[in-house]
Structure 1
Amino acid sequence: MKKFTCLGLSMVLALGLLAGCGGNDASTSEPAGSTPDAATSTTELSGSVATDGSTSMESVIGVLGEQFMADHPDVSVTYNPTGSGAGIEAVTNGSCDIGLASRALKDEEKEGGLTETIVALDGIAIIVNGENSVTDLSLEQIASIYTGEVTDWSEFGSEAGTIANIGRESGSGTRDGFESITGTEDACVLAQELNSTGAVIEAVRTTPGAIGYASLSAVEGQEGITVLTVGGVAPSEETVLDGTYAIQRPFVFATRTDEALSDAAQAFFDWATSEDANSLIESAGAVPVAGTDAASAA
């Protein structure tokens, strides 16, 4: 009887081991043409990606973060709209993964340990109050307005009225780009100095005689303002990419040169700067550069 019982148990264990091996084979089999990495890439990635900086990049970083989180449910992408200068400081001191700047990094910032990667290009649109009849200004005329040399709209063929210059705060990438292109660094005379793209647009919309500058991606479809042509060229994806629209700047990811990103942050960075993200960047109103000469130059 004991021999029979032992034999029976041995057969049960043997059958169980065989069943277990068969089950493991079934659970680890891959679909035809797939690889283990491809099958697990969307489920294994987890963590957070902290971005901080340019308010002009809100639409771009918004669509990129939303899509990445949809593709990777265990990853959180956050955005703190503090302005380009603050974003560069945040990535420098390690309080975010990726700094967002709507201007090129300065030599001292690169020498201080940051790497610049251009994600997109953006036109800086010149906008006036919707009641203004002016539709085109040259770079020289824009500069004469912002330095206070010309103070009345009648100088440009419109009805007489005091010009109200609206601009961004010190440290803004939009302001840096605008002033460097128009040659008005440290010379602008502003009626209002505001700390976000949306605030500039609203001020121009509600202030008679106002002129301002804002990201092209932010002004499209806005009512109560007029987007000017500059030297006869309208800001658009085509004119920004081919360089015929004069007032443009890069949208930049700033990262710490000697410090690796986390797996989640690196995956987001790689995807956002690839051609796979181009259509999303374009939908946000900016001009993607992945796969173009602009990306190679970066």
Structure 2
Amino acid sequence: MNRKKHLIYLMGVLCFLWAPNPFLLSQTTLRYVGSSTVGNFIRDADPFYEPLNFELNTEPESAGGERAILDGQADLAGVANIPCVEALSKGVVSSLIGWDAIGVLVHADLPVKNLTIEQLRDIFSGKITNWKTLGGPDLPVRPFITGIESATHKVFRSLVLGEAAYQNCTEVSPDVDILEKIRTTPGAIGQLSYSFMGDEVSGVRLVSVNGQELSLTNTNYPLTRPLYLLWWPGRRDIAEFVEWVLSPEGQRLVMKRFIGVREGLFLQDAGTGSLVVYTNTFAVEDGGTFFYPHRPYEILSPEHELIMRVSNHLSPNDETPTRVKLPVGSYLIRPESNDPAGQLFFVSIESGKLTRLDVRSHKNGAEPASQPSTEHKEPGQIFYPVGDLRLRGETDFRGDYRRFRGRFRGRAGVNVLLSPALKLNMRLTTTTNPDDPNSPYANFTSGFNQVSIVLDQAALTWQAARPLRFLLGKFSLPFEASGIYSELVWDADVQVEGAAFSLDYANLGPMKKMKWTSGAFLMSSFQSGNTGFWLHAHQGYFEWAFRPDQTLALGSGFLFFQNIKNADVSALTFDANAGNAVYEKLNIAGGDTLFSRHFESDFWLHDNFISWQYAGLPRPLRVKAQWVGNFGATHDRDGYALGLSYGRLNEKGEWRIYYQFQNMGQESVFSPFVQDDFLAQTGYRAHVAGIAYALNAKTSLHLWGLFSKNTLHPEPRATRIRLDLNLKI
């Protein structure tokens, strides 16, 4: 009996398992929140992808989708723009599934067939209010836009309006309702994702933009944006769905409404194009002239994987952004920024064309541009000429002493891009004494026949790998400068000769920059007999962006001058700025005398500075403090400086004012290679102040005064007034 019961029980279980069971056959339902554009694809996919069902909420649009995935209110989110950095930094996974085209629609009775980006900007910013302005009928322009939560609203503004705001526009939500508004409103124009448009749409008409018709095969159409799915890792069912979306079957479904991801992602066999990115600039002082090279940026894949980091300038005085050659495809651009969250920009590279992207006008919170304009590529550029000319009037006062000089300095060179990782920098400069490294100036009264041309720089730079860089040859001391007035320890006109390397890290969370530099240099201009004088230099430099508009920088450098103490340097062919040289009177046969000179101290210099820059004012404000100590000396071995500046000179009409106080002990620095602007090199207290004005981006006037008092001898105060005209070539 028990056996029969067991058999009946077993047969019942098997029947239960074999029979259709609604619980066992039920599908998992995913909560989708986000872009209505991506939602159109999810609706298309629902009947084709059997393992999952979808519950859609597209009312919050892209911004709401990002919030929902972060708050755990959605299993899957869709955004029709580049995902926010907050979501990605917290571990949310993103996957690019395709590109959407934003169409410009007008009422069917309007005869307008094409509009330029500039005309669209004027329409949606309220400047054009009647179609008669554009050759149409005498009819008011009635612009309709999607709701503020819609990615279409934001991306269209970024691509068309730039920094301008929507004006006199009517918001419509949900997005698809714009079709009815345009159809029933004479003179109407609006924006809408192409995914909402079908063959059954009547009463509205698409117009071309910049002469390009909207179609899913026209990659030149200028109003496109990326489409992403977002989800948390660990969900195998969602990962399998995304894998299916990216499969040939899923992409065929995507391409019914959008441009498929396979159309533009690293098509290696489709040729190459070029990219130039105009990033924000930063100030570099080179021999008293300010240059504004473009800041670095990173190129990422659509999956946010780093492809390369671009320095975006070939040398500190190179103000032209670097052209980069890339395979045809789509990329994300992340400029160097004070904001740790950063900002991403979408670009598309086309075969044989140059793509330009200007991110300088996008402030914090602005939407990134996703499709820069393209043009036919210019011939590959290898040589980048650089140069500058300075005309100076200078007056010196010290007691009864007076002197006026008219002087000039000319520098010209070329940066050669030998390969993406290898650069050659060469520069010539004027001088009246080729043996004096401190003075590239010539006096007008000397006559041009007294002017010599010497090799000022000749160096190879090899970017071996991120972040490692090597320098070899004759070049500027590769230290980060303290700013304001930076020549307390090293004269910017003096070039080092030797080899150096640097490790340069960027965007490490709140650490904007971290750099270590080391080098060994032969001081050939200081050579005496068979004695070799060497400089070993090292510097650590750190920048913290503790707020988007504030940066704190800290630099600590070591300069070890080898074989200096007690060395006889009387054979030098120039006066080595004898601030801490010792002169001796020697008696020789016949009663003649000879002055010899040497240095009584070693020079093991420790140069430290801290600076704070604030960008929240109309012009940048910078404050700095600097301390220098010579551990190789026994007395007068310390020096310090305090300074501030306000302004910059990179555009016409800009100006900069500055002031700095410094007190330098006699042995605090090595006088032959420090500044020669003051009428003393060491053992002095001094003030320097000036104002500069940019006549245009390449020309500036600089009026400055240097006031010093010798602390070693009871000499009268010294004053030097200069007026410089600087022209950058």
TM-score, structure 2 as length reference: 0.32
C-alpha displacement at 1:94, in angstroms? 1.1
1:171 aligns with 2:149: yes
1:209 aligns with 2:187: yes
C-alpha displacement at 1:255, in angstroms? 2.0
Contiguous gaps of at least 5 residues in structure 1 = 1-42
Give, in whole Å, the separation in 1 of the partners of 2:127 and 2:95: 37
| Structure 2 CA distance for partners of 1:225 and 1:294, relative to 1, 3 Å | farther
Give, in whole Å, the separation in 1 of the partners of 2:135 and 2:161: 24
1:255 aligns with 2:236: no
2:54 maps to which of 56, 61, 77: 77
| Structure 2 CA distance for partners of 1:97 and 1:273, relative to 1, 3 Å | farther
Q: Deviations over 1:19-65 (max 9, x none)?
A: xxxxxxxxxxxxxxxxxxxxxxxx99942222111112232111112
Partner AA of 2:227 in structure 1: F
Give, in whole Å, the separation in 2 of the partners of 1:160 and 1:205: 19
2:239 maps to which of 247, 261, 266: 266
Aligned to 2:195, what secondary structure does the other structure show?
A: helix
| 8 Å CA contact 1:45, 1:264 repeated in 2 | no
Higher strand fraction: Structure 1 or Structure 2?
2
C-alpha displacement at 1:185, in angstroms? 5.0
Aligned to 1:235, what secondary structure does the other structure show?
A: coil
Give, in whole Å, the separation in 1 of the partners of 2:222 and 2:264: 19
Q: Deviations over 1:159-215 (max 9, x none)?
A: 011111100111211111111111345600143101222111111111111110101
1:149 maps to which of 120, 127, 132: 127
| Structure 2 CA distance for partners of 1:238 and 1:91, relative to 1, 3 Å | same
What residue is the counterpart of 1:100 in the other structure?
78
C-alpha displacement at 1:89, in angstroms? 0.9
Aligned to 1:77, what secondary structure does the other structure show?
A: strand
Partner AA of 2:207 in structure 1: L
Q: Deviations over 1:103-134 (max 9, x none)?
A: 11133442344332111111100000111110
| Structure 2 CA distance for partners of 1:128 and 1:245, relative to 1, 3 Å | same
Q: CA RMSD of the aligned region, Å?
A: 2.6
1:51 aligns with 2:41: no
Aligned to 1:204, what secondary structure does the other structure show?
A: helix
Partner AA of 1:289 in structure 2: V
Quick one: percent identity of the two aligned structures? 22
Give, in whole Å, the separation in 2 of the partners of 1:236 and 1:291: 13
Contiguous gaps of at least 5 residues in structure 2 = 1-23, 268-300, 304-729
C-alpha displacement at 1:265, in angstroms? 2.1
User: What is the total number of aligned residue pairs between the two structures?
Assistant: 249
Give, in whole Å, the separation in 1 of the partners of 2:164 and 2:149: 12
| 8 Å CA contact 1:167, 1:190 repeated in 2 | no
Q: How does 1:59-70 map to 2 (within 5 A)?
A: 59-69=40-50
What residue is the counterpart of 1:235 in the other structure?
214
What residue is the counterpart of 2:260 in the other structure?
288
What residue is the counterpart of 2:88 in the other structure?
110
C-alpha displacement at 1:92, in angstroms? 1.1
Higher helix fraction: Structure 1 or Structure 2?
1
Aligned to 1:56, what secondary structure does the other structure show?
A: helix
| Structure 2 CA distance for partners of 1:208 and 1:238, relative to 1, 3 Å | same
Larger Cα-atom Rg? 2
What residue is the counterpart of 2:166 in the other structure?
188
| Structure 2 CA distance for partners of 1:78 and 1:294, relative to 1, 3 Å | farther
Partner AA of 2:54 in structure 1: V
Aligned to 1:68, what secondary structure does the other structure show?
A: coil
C-alpha displacement at 1:98, in angstroms? 1.2
Could you say which structure has the greater relative contact order, defined with CA pairs below 8 angstroms and 6 or more residues apart?
1
